[in-house]
Structure 1
Amino acid sequence: MTRTPPGFQQLTPYAFMRDADAFVRFLVDGLGAQLQLCHRRPDSRIANAQLQLGDSMLMVSEASADYPPMPASYYLFVDDAHAAMARALAHGAQPVMAVADMPYGDRQGGVRDAHGNLWWLSQRLVDGPYS
Structure 2
Amino acid sequence: MNKIYDTYRPKGFGTVSSYLMVENPEELINFLKKAFYAEELNRSINPKNGVIANIILKIGNSCFMISQARGEFLNMRTSFYLYVDDVDKLHQRAIENGAKEEFAPRDMEYQDRQSGIIDPSGNYWWISKRLVNKDYED
**Larger radius of gyration, structure 1 or 2?**
2
Task: Calculate percent identity across the aligned residue pairs.
Answer: 36
Deviation at 1:8, TM superposition (A): 0.9
- 2:80 is matched with 74
C-alpha offsets along residues 44-84 of structure 1, whole Å, 9 cap, x if unaligned? 32110001111111100000115323111111111100011
Q: TM-score, normalised by structure 1?
A: 0.94
Task: Calculate the aligned-residue CA RMSD, in Å.
Answer: 1.1
- 1:99 is matched with 105
| Structure 2 residue 24 is matched with structure 1 residue 19 | yes
Q: TM-score, normalised by structure 2?
A: 0.90
| Structure 2 residue 129 is matched with structure 1 residue 115 | no
Candidates 34, 39, 45, aligned match of 1:34:
39
In 1, distance between residues paired with 2:35 and 2:52?
Answer: 19
Q: Which amino acid aligns with 1:81?
A: V
Q: SS of the residue aligned with 1:79?
A: coil
Candidates 89, 92, 95, aligned match of 1:89:
95
Note the residue ranges of structure 1 that are not aligned, 5 or more in a row. none
Q: Which amino acid aligns with 2:128?
A: S
In 2, distance between residues paired with 1:114 and 1:107?
Answer: 23
Note the residue ranges of structure 2 that are not aligned, 5 or more in a row. 1-5
Q: Which runs of 4+ in 1 moved over 4 A?
A: none
Number of residue-to-residue matches in the alignment: 131
- 1:46 is matched with 52
